[in-house]
Amino acid sequence: MVRSGRRDQRHEGPRADDSGSHGDAVSMARFTSFDQEALMRTFSTVLVVLCFCATAPAAALAQATGSIAGIVTDESGAVLPGVAVEAINVATNQIRSARTGADGHYSLPVIDPGQHTVTATLSGFKLGQRTGVVVNVESTARVDLKLAVGGVEESLTVAATISLVETSKATLGLVVSQKEVVEMPLNGRNFTQLGTLLPGVIAPPAGLGGSGGDATPGGFGAATSGFSVNGMRNQSNNFLLDGASNNDTFNTGFVLRPPPDAIQEFKILTHSYAAEYGRNAGSVVNVVTRSGGNAVHGAGWEFNRDDALQARNYFAPSTQPKPKLTQHQFGGTLGGPIARDRLFGFGYYEGHRNTTGITQNLVVLSDAERRGTFNTAIRDPRTGLPFPNNTIPDARIDPAARQLIERFVPVANSGSNRYIASPDTTDDRDQFGTRIDYRVTANNSLLGRYIHSRTHSVQPAITRPIGTDARAALQDVMVSDTHVFASNRINQARVSYNRIGARPQATSGLSNAAFGISLPHNVPSAQGLANVEIIELFAGTPGIGGTGGLGDVQQPFVERLNETLQLADDFTWVHGGHSMKFGAEVQRQHMFIAFVNRPNGDFTFNGVHTGNAAADFLLGLPFRFRRTTANTSQDGHGWIYGGYVQDEFRPRADLTVSAGLRYEVSVPFVDKNGALNSFRPGQQSTRFPQAPRGLVYPGDEGVPDGTYETDKNNLAPRLGFTWDPTGSGRATLRGAWGIFYDTLAGQGDFFQNGVLAPPFTPLVEVTAPPAQLSLQNPLSAVAGGATLFPPGLTFIGWGEDFEQPSAQHFNLTWSQEIGRHFAAETGYVGSRGRNLPIFIEVNPGLYSPGQRSGGARLYPAFSLVRPTFSVGKSWYDSLQTSFRMRPTRGMSFLAAYTLGHAVDHVSGLNIGGEQRPVLPVTMGDDASIERALELEKGDALFDARHRFVISFSAELPTPASRSAIVNHAFGGWQVNGIVQAQTGFPFTVIDPVQTIRYLTNRPNVTCDPNQDAAHSVDQWFNTACFVRRPVPDTAEPGNQERNTVRGPGFARTDLSVFKNVGVWRDHRLQFRVEMFNLFDQTRFGQPGNTIGSSTFGRITTSDDGRIVQLAVKYTF
């Protein structure tokens, strides 16, 4: 860890670059280089470790593996000790062996996923053999063998039928096979969508990131987080690729998403997983990539979409052309032997070219409003009386506002105040990967893998001067080695490195002065127009650039670089009835973040002056103005350490107990320039003596490098049992309990700790009232000139106290095979989260009875002071059931139902758009914190009370016929589908005008807004139930609880139809028709939740309708 000159610099006080001048901190040269020097150092470290792994005889690495276990008996059922059991990998001929113990039980751990043949040999008995044994990742294939008396040269071969009931592990989850990954209808070919087939798994609402098939990391937001699992945030999932970390440390979610044809299988561990897994408290998604074998295999494909086969978006007018859709996903795979039985290779490439018209349904100014005439009363702020005829005199319309309207606000084309358009967005990607498996000796094997992906997406502007032009390069490299010291002692080790290099946003280069706004720019490379937000105007589809306001985006994300280097080792030891595992890992994470914060200023208009936000804008009277006086990029690193011990043992033949203990530590990120801040009321900084009291930095007394102390007491015990009451493996009772710690997302931790830290990036915030603000000259309201610590500073970051977020998992489930082909499972699944990070205001406005408007704040040198507190909690309880059919005569299905209730204080860290708590707190005063939390406890944003999903696959039978024509025409057909339905997500109604204490303002509620509601797009809930409060009456919170209004649910059917045509031997041509949202069932977005706006209670967005995809694939 290099700290060259760091400590000296911290005590020098502000240097030239500490003044906040952007300079080399966000220079174009810096952006272009992507920190090449640091990258080369990291690659050098990786290469050294790789060389060590390749040469050390005992070194080993973890692939994602499974196991085989069972009991060997004679024909009378008596157990047989000393039986030699072997498992042979059908693809590679790799052999693993073990012997049965005194109880006849054997265990073969660390088996590569795939098909195996299991044999059992004992003198005096015939050879027993079970073929077609499928081993899945993180699962135990139970293979019981019965030997008949006879000579060893004789054999009895039986085709394997693996139990549908888990008989050894208490972990909840599901393996998704390679066949299911490749054949299920996946929108965008995104494998994570299959996670939602399981009970307890919810695709989150759009505000939390959604679960789009085209998700890829790059910008800001949890777009690749996939799902929320059993009451945990979607930021709490741990993504693994061949057992190695595949996590975006800034946003959370996956980094690389291999195409389905490059995936062997994956398993989602949804609850109570073993101690070897850590980092996060949600699910573990372990993807195993495909490898080569002794047989050459491969595929080539083209998936095509066209708007001719697409249904029109619900809000796309029939008078306009249908939104454009053109998409091509094409690629191929090739795998096989390089040296038979020793060296195998696999590689793939996939390209993606997409142009899509995204329907935007924007609220804009009506023709009359553009001229200053409104259809509701508007107040003249000079007199306090209504404007005559609700019309602003032409001479009073602000020239800057008029110019912005004429240049950027489109004229309504639907009704009086709506503009509907479907501009084309483009999304181009290329990804390739390669994997090498090498059996060095019979007891030692190596795996090496490299994946590279490039993405480029463009979203055009509608109300802004420039849309989004985002580029990203993603890379992942891993080397692993597995060493078998003995059949019962196996060591695994791995080294991996992944990297995200992205430029998510460009700026227009326009000048504020050219539009009559006297506001200089402080970052030449991010110059653009000041951002203008007019409450409830121009809001488009979440996540789509080019809408949401006027001017350039307020915080252009110019560059991000994320790197993770991971080293891990696992040792497995089977002894008697115990299967023990020990391991440790270390991760070094690096982030460079050039998130240029409000370099051009931003304005918010909310109606505080006239009662109408648009009228405020026409008058040039904003409610709030914010601007940084300097910008400095963040460049830091953090560490994660973890170790564990676990044991799976059998105290009785029908009972398996698992017990484990994990210890892990997340060391806070440290910025190489010390450009982080913390808030400690009353403490004066010695590093920056000019700083206002309370604002402190690394190097100040009691302030560590990462601003908060490392939480080191993170012991996580895990307990579970599996009871097989009949001993047949057909029914089990499973239960588990454990503690799981959660790593913070970088954008809610390191990013928050430094993005607005003065004097590096000081943010000035001024509100009116009490200030006198104008659009043309906002700086006139800012006291004094340029300074390192201007008045009205904003603080976000951590206070003094931090505890690692954690959750308790607990479940009890019953599983039962029904007949030969079916199985059912039902049970209770629950979790309790604690120490969840939540933002809470500590600098409210001071209030005294009779006060009519906002006054001074508690800490007058600041505006917003919003530390992160480790005090949030969550509660989840559910009944979960599933019913499945094993593949039989070409048919299989899985049905899952969840009745669940997720409650929390806040549903995401810096995502989701949730308003801050309605009450402020006093740091160190637990009573004030508890009172604030009481008013925030409510349904989680991702709470869906009911969810049902069924997935199925059916190979249609070929009619009995001797005619080749009939066989070709009617044979080889296959149907696959996913049908799902769930209830809606909750939300909170808000008032855009802050309370008299500058806090979140929830209106009062007088009735149940969900009861007897119209549930139409024009009025989804009963808006009459909500009553605005005059500002003088808002010193205390309103009576509305958090997240009590329910949005629309949805139902959807995705279907694929295949025609398989045999070409030659194992060569096959496949024609596909895939229909997403087959019945064109509209899934609406959430209704407007801002009282007093034109969209209040109205739904203005929806997902696309039916999409038909045609495909052809050649496999061999």
Residue 912 pLDDT exceeds 90: no
Q: What is the mean pLDDT of the chain?
A: 89
Q: Per-residue pLDDT averaged across 507-536, rounded?
A: 92
58-72, 120-134, 404-418, 924-938: which range is least confident on average?
58-72
Q: Is 92 helix (H, G, I), strand (E, B) or coil?
A: coil
Q: Which residues neighbour 41 within 8 Å (Cβ) at sequence distance 6 or greater?
A: none
- Among 41-55, 577-591, 1094-1108, which stretch is predicted with the lowest mean pLDDT? 41-55
Q: How would you write 924-960 as a 3-class SS string? A: CCHHHHHHHHHCCCEECCCCCCEEEEEEEEEECCCCC
pLDDT at 109: 92
Q: Cα torsion at 241, 242, 243, 244 (round to 10°)?
A: -50
Is the pLDDT confidence value at 98 over 60? yes
> 651, 635, 659: which is closest to 563 by C-alpha?
635
What pLDDT digit, counting tens, does each position of 234-248 carry? 999 999 999 999 999
pLDDT the model gives residue 783: 66
pLDDT tens per residue, range 820-869: 899 999 999 999 999 999 999 999 999 999 999 999 999 999 999 999 99
The DSSP secondary-structure symbol of 234 reads G
480 pLDDT higher than 50: yes
**Separation of alpha carbons 604 and 613, rounded Å:** 9
pLDDT at residue 39, rounded to an integer: 40
Residue 748: its pLDDT value, please?
A: 83
Reported confidence tier of residue 962, pLDDT bands at 50, 70, 90:
low
- Residue 508 confidence class, pLDDT cut points 50, 70, 90: very high
Closest residue by Cα to residue 653 from 724, 579, 575, 578: 724
CA 457 to the chain's CA centroid = 19
Mean pLDDT of 683-699: 96
51 has pLDDT over 60: no
CA 383-385-387 angle, to 5 degrees, is 100
Residue scoring higher pLDDT (142 or 686)? 686
pLDDT at 940 over 60: yes
- Decide: pTM greater than 0.85: yes
DSSP string, 131-162: EEEEE-TT-EEE--EEEPBS-TT-EEEEE---
Residue 308 vs residues 326, 353, 374, 1053: alpha-carbon distances, Å: 9, 17, 42, 20
81 against 13, higher pLDDT? 81
The superfamily in CATH containing domain 66-162 is: Carboxypeptidase-like, regulatory domain (2.60.40.1120)
Q: Report the alpha-carbon distance of residue 749 to residue 836 in Å, rounded.
A: 12
Count of alpha carbons within 13 Å of 123, Cβ hemisphere only? 1
pLDDT at 37: 46
Rounding to the nearest 10 degrees, give the CA dihedral for residues 388, 392, 396, 397: 180
Task: Please tell me the least confidently modeled range out of 34-43, 837-846, 1103-1112.
Answer: 34-43
pLDDT score of 12 more than 90? no
- CA dist 672 and 676 (Å) reads 10
pLDDT digits (tens, 9 = 90+) for 737-756: 999 999 998 888 898 899 88
Q: Where are the domains of the chain?
A: 66-162
CB hemisphere CA count around 32 (13 angstroms): 5
Residue 52 has pLDDT above 80, yes or no: no
pLDDT above 60: residue 46: no
Mean pLDDT of 508-513: 94
Q: Which of 755, 674, 663 is nearest to 710 (CA)?
A: 663
- The pLDDT of residue 56 is 40
In the predicted structure, residue 14 carries a pLDDT above the cut 50: no
AA letter at 329 = Q
Instruction: Between 547 and 412, name the one with better pLDDT.
Output: 412
Q: Is 680 helix (H, G, I), strand (E, B) or coil?
A: coil
Element (H, E) at 42: helix 36-55
Q: DSSP labels for 415-479?
A: TTTEEEE--EEEEEEEEEEEEEEEEEETTEEEEEEEEEEEEEEEE--SSSS--EEEEEEEEEEEE
Going by pLDDT thresholds of 50, 70 and 90, the confidence category of residue 28 is very low
Residue 788: per-residue pLDDT: 84
Q: pLDDT, tens digit, for every residue of 573-584? A: 999 889 999 999
In order of 207, 259, 392, 694, 865, the CA distances from 223 in angstroms are: 10, 17, 43, 36, 28
Look-up of token digits 């088996």 = 111
pLDDT at position 163 over 90: no
Terminus-to-terminus CA distance in the chain, angstroms?
Answer: 49
pLDDT 10s digits, 245-287: 999 999 889 999 999 999 998 889 999 999 999 999 999 999 9
* Tokens representing residue 1096 in the block: 């209040």
Confidence check: pLDDT of 871 > 60: yes
Lowest mean pLDDT among 3-12, 677-686, 850-859, 947-956: 3-12
pLDDT in tens, 1002-1046: 999 999 999 999 999 999 999 999 999 999 999 999 999 999 999
Lowest-pLDDT range, 324-333, 427-436, 912-921, 940-949?
912-921
Share of the chain above pLDDT 90, in %: 70
Q: How many CB atoms lie within 10 A of CB 542?
A: 18
DSSP string of 906-924? Answer: -SSSS-S-PPPPSS---TT
Q: Token pair for residue 442?
A: 């019979």
Q: Which residues pair with 583 in a beta bridge?
A: 570, 644
**SS3 readout for 278-308:** CCCCCCEEEEEECCCCCCCEEEEEEEEEEEE
What is the structure's pLDDT at 168?
Answer: 84
Q: What percent of the chain has pLDDT over 70?
A: 92
The token duo for 99 is 């012997």
Highest mean pLDDT, choosing among 55-64, 571-580, 681-690 = 681-690
pLDDT digits (tens, 9 = 90+) for 980-998: 999 999 999 999 999 999 9
Alpha carbon distance 626, 647 (integer Å): 56
Instruction: Find out whether 913 and 207 touch, Cβ atoms under 8 Å.
Output: yes
Could you give the CA distance from residue 469 to residue 492 in angstroms, rounded to a whole number? Answer: 43
Residue with tokens 């019965």: 146
